[in-house]
Amino acid sequence: MLNIDLTGRRALVAGVADDGGFGFAIAKALAEAGATVCVGTWPPALNIFLNLLERGKMDESRVMSNGALLPFEKIYPLDAVYDTLGDIPDDVRTSKRYRDVGDCSIAGVAARLVEDFGDHPLDIVVHALANGPEVKKPLIDTSRSGYLAAVSASAYSLIAMVSRFGPLMRPGGAFASLTYMASERVIPGYGGGMSSAKAALESDTRTLAFEAGRRWGVRVNTVSAGPFASRAASAIGIIEKMVAYVSANAPLPDQLSATEVGVATAFLCSPLASGITGTTVYVDKGYHTMGMAVETG
């Protein structure tokens, strides 16, 4: 039997703050395949996440196939908008949600990983991060600052993570991120520069695959997931409509599950995908293949 075997490998999944999104599903799939999993959590959501864990509110979703609960080896505060501690403004660093978490920049998490696990602590890094403060605004009405914030948090953060985590990867390492079809087709309501950010993310995936592949021998891929009604996606404001539309028009009409995205990502990060890099893999029930809507009347 051909199995995904990640025994002995360590993963960092950046962007896990609850059990309802793709980040959690990816972390669970990696653990099911045998990897140990660390997560990076946005500081404003960190205490809520820790409380959910401590109070057992996520125990049901953490149950794995062997009956054990999904363990997190380490939970790091991570704000991927900041490359170094010096980039964090003083008013943010001293604010209630940041002042006690230490260096939550990308470089800070890299240093903590080395301190905790040695010079080459990682085999897998998953970028499950996105934020667009003006996502509900049409692109034409998006401010410059809102657009740049979306690109910084959702696309440049991948570059920064590959730059700083790439040197920490062991042979055969893999990066994966999450994108969306708005990168290449118009999705009304998915605004604020997020479509531009996803397009940048996919372009950067190709370039990073070449540069990081030649420099450190690692792979870089992205998963284009279909719409999914996670808590984070509710910020878009039309997620239920998006899910229903895709279900009505995709080749496979059953709704996408987070688990399907999780296991596809685990495959991309495994030795079974050693020949795949610089690629956008669609996990959307085939919706991206459609050229027109299915007639409903």
Domains of the chain in start order, with CATH, are 10-283 (3.40.50.720)
User: Catalytic site residues?
Assistant: 180, 190
Specify the pLDDT at position 232.
66
Query: Mean pLDDT throughout 125-146?
Result: 96
Query: Mean pLDDT throughout 51-66?
Result: 96
Taking the model in full, what pTM does it have?
0.95
What pLDDT band is residue 12 in, cutting at 50, 70 and 90?
very high
Tens digits of residue pLDDT in 210-251: 999 999 999 999 999 998 876 666 666 677 888 888 999 999
Q: How far apart are CA 93 and CA 210, in angstroms?
A: 35
Tens digits of residue pLDDT in 250-290: 999 999 999 999 999 999 999 999 999 999 999 999 999 99
Tens digits of residue pLDDT in 104-122: 999 999 999 999 999 999 9
* Mean of pLDDT over the chain: 95
Which H or E element spans position 207? Answer: helix 194-216
What would the two tokens of residue 37 be? 């999993």
* Nearest one of 109, 100, 134 to 40, comparing CA atoms: 109
Q: How far apart are CA 45 and CA 58, in angstroms?
A: 15
As a dihedral over the C-alpha atoms of residue 274, residue 217, residue 157, residue 257, rounded to 10 degrees, the angle is 10
Q: Are 131 and 151 in contact (CB under 8 A)?
A: no
